A and B are shown apart, each in its own frame.
Chain A
Amino acid sequence: MTYKEVAHTNGYEFTQGGGYELPTYPFVPPPEIGSGAPARHPIVIVGGGITGLTLACSLARLGVPAILIDEDDTVGVKGASSRGICYTQKSLEIFERLGIYEHIAAKGVQWSVGRTYAGHDEVYSFDLRQQGGYRLSQQPPFINIQQFYIEAFLVDRINALGHVQLRWRNRLTAFEQDEHGALLSIETPAGAYQVRAEHVIDATGSASPLRKWLQVPFDSKRGDDRWCIADVRFTTRPPQERHTWIEAPFNENRAVWQHLMGDDVWRIDYQMAPNADPAYVSREDVVRERLARQFGPEVEVEIVWVGPYAYRSECVHAMRHGRVFFMGDSAKVVSPFGARGGNTGVADADNLAWKLAAVMRGRAAPALLESYGDERLEAARENVRVTNRTARFLRPADGIERTYRNAAIALAKRHAFARPLINTGRMAVANPYTRSRACLYGEGSAAGQSVQNVAFAWADGREGRLNQLLDWAAGDLLLLCFGPLSRADRKRLAGLSATAPLRVVQVVGADDAAQCLEHVRDLKGALRDACQAAAGGWALVRPDAYLAAHGRAVNADLVQAIGLALGLTGVNA
Chain B
Amino acid sequence: MITTPNWQDADTFYEQLLDAQADLSPEQIQAFSARLILLLANQMGDARVLADCIAAAREAL
Contact = CB atoms under 8 A, between A and B. Distances in A.
B39 interface: yes
B18 to A, nearest CB: 20
Given A417-B42, A418-B42, A411 B30 contact: no
A109 B35 CA distance: 39
B39 to A, nearest CB: 7
Contacts of B38: 404, 407-408, 411, 418, 421
Interface in B19-61: 30-31, 34-35, 37-39, 42
A37 interface: no
A411 B31 contact: no
Contacts of A406: 31, 34
A403 B34 CA distance: 7
B31 to A, nearest CB: 6
Given A400-B30, A403-B30, A410 B35 contact: yes
A410 B42 CA distance: 15
A421 B35 CA distance: 12
A246 to B, nearest CB: 16
A420 B47 CA distance: 14
B32 to A, nearest CB: 9
A404 B34 contact: yes
A407 B27 CA distance: 12
Interface in A410-426: 410-411, 417-418, 421
A406 B35 CA distance: 9
Nearest to B30: A403
A403 B30 CA distance: 7
Contacts of A407: 31, 34-35, 37-38
Contacts of B31: 403, 406-407, 410
B24 to A, nearest CB: 13
Contacts of B37: 407
B61 to A, nearest CB: 15
A419 to B, nearest CB: 11
A206 B2 CA distance: 47
Nearest to A418: B38
Contacts of A403: 30-31, 34
Contacts of B35: 407, 410-411
A418 B31 CA distance: 15
Nearest to A405: B34
A421 B50 CA distance: 15
A421 B41 CA distance: 12
Contacts of A400: 30, 34
Query: Which residue among A404, A406, A410, A421 has the maximum number of chain B CB atoms within 10 Å of its CB?
Result: A404
A1 to B, nearest CB: 44
Query: Which residue among A400, A407, A417 has the maximum number of chain B CB atoms within 10 Å of its CB?
Result: A407
A407 B42 CA distance: 13
Contacts of A410: 31, 35
Contacts of B30: 400, 403
B57 to A, nearest CB: 13
A408 B37 CA distance: 10
A145 B37 CA distance: 41
Nearest to B45: A417
A77 B37 CA distance: 46
A264 to B, nearest CB: 41
A170 to B, nearest CB: 50
A417 B34 CA distance: 15
Interface in A380-428: 400, 403-404, 406-408, 410-411, 417-418, 421
Nearest to B36: A407
A417 to B, nearest CB: 4
B48 to A, nearest CB: 18
A410 B39 CA distance: 12
A418 B39 CA distance: 8
Contacts of A408: 38
B38 to A, nearest CB: 6
A404 B31 CA distance: 7
7 contacts: A400-B30, A403-B34, A404-B38, A408-B38, A411-B35, A411-B39, A418-B38
Given A404-B38, A407-B31, 4 more contacts: A400-B30, A410-B35, A411-B35, A418-B42
The 7 tightest CB contacts between A and B, nearest first, are A407-B34, A407-B35, A417-B42, A404-B34, A403-B34, A403-B30, A407-B38
